[in-house]
């Protein structure tokens, strides 16, 4: 059997078959272009999303740095308190005994002052004396523990009293 080259050539010159080749080629190229555009768009979207997230993180970090700086400056300017935890507790007790609750609240860290001041609303002389008795006990015993970095102090008496050392060397009450 001899190959019939003429028939193959005749069929390759068929207009339907010739039209199918470019259409298939265009479809494949179009699919690749669509895939490229989709993948490129997705990559751009992810990069944009990551960039905006990074921007948010940087703005948050800057806000935290500003807050820390302002807080540090407020702590430096705050002069109410003693040079030792015991001195601060003594000053606090004396202010409460005199009925100067505004002054007494100033021996607390800034975040707790309003709560401390409100805690004296409607307090009777008897309730104040009952409140101060264990604090005076802690002061007389004077026993407590410093943290390893010596920036915190806790009295070991019947009442939990925590103090913190401000950057200006003044001790402030964190909680009683």
Domain ranges for the chain: 21-76, 80-175
Give 90: exposed, middle or buried? Use CB within 10 Å, 0-12, 13-18, 19+. middle
Q: Which helix (H) or strand (E) holds 152?
A: strand 152-155
CATH 3.10.450 is right for the domain spanning 80-175 = yes
Buried (b) or exposed (e) across 39-69, using 16+ Cβ within 10 A?
Answer: eeeeeeeeeeeeeeeeeeeeeeeeeeeeeee
Q: Left, alpha or beta for 153 (phi > 0: left; psi -120 to 50: alpha)? A: beta
**Residue whose entry in the numeric block shows the structure tokens 């970095």:** 149
Residue with more model confidence, 10 or 73: 73
Q: What is the residue-averaged pLDDT of the chain?
A: 88
| Mean pLDDT score, 143-159 | 89
Using one digit for the tens of pLDDT, what is the confidence trace for 113-128? 999 999 998 889 999 9
15-77 vs 5-12: helix axis angle to the nearest 10?
50
| Mean pLDDT score, 81-99 | 95
Residue with more model confidence, 28 or 82: 82
* Confidence (pLDDT) at 20: 64
Structural tokens at position 107: 């021996």
Using one digit for the tens of pLDDT, what is the confidence trace for 10-48? 555 666 666 567 788 888 888 889 999 999 999 999 999
For residue 154, give Cα distances in angstroms to 15, 50, 82, 88.
96, 45, 15, 13
């Amino acid at each position: 059997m001899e190959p019939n080259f003429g028939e193959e050539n005749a069929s390759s010159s068929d207009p339907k078959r010739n039209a199918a080749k470019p259409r298939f080629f265009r479809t494949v190229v179009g699919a690749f272009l669509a895939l490229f555009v989709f993948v490129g768009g997705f990559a751009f979207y992810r990069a944009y999303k990551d960039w905006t997230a990074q921007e948010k993180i940087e703005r948050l970090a800057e806000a935290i740095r500003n807050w820390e700086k302002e807080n540090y400056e407020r702590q430096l300017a705050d002069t109410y308190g003693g040079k030792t935890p015991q001195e601060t507790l003594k000053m606090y007790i004396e202010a409460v005994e005199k009925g100067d609750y505004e002054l007494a609240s100033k021996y607390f860290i800034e975040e707790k002052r309003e709560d401390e001041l409100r805690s004296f609303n409607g307090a009777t002389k008897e309730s104040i004396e009952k409140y101060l008795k264990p604090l005076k006990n802690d002061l007389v015993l004077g026993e407590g523990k410093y943290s390893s970095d010596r920036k915190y102090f806790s009295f070991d008496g019947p009442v939990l009293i925590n103090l913190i050392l401000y950057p200006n060397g003044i001790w402030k009450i964190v909680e009683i």
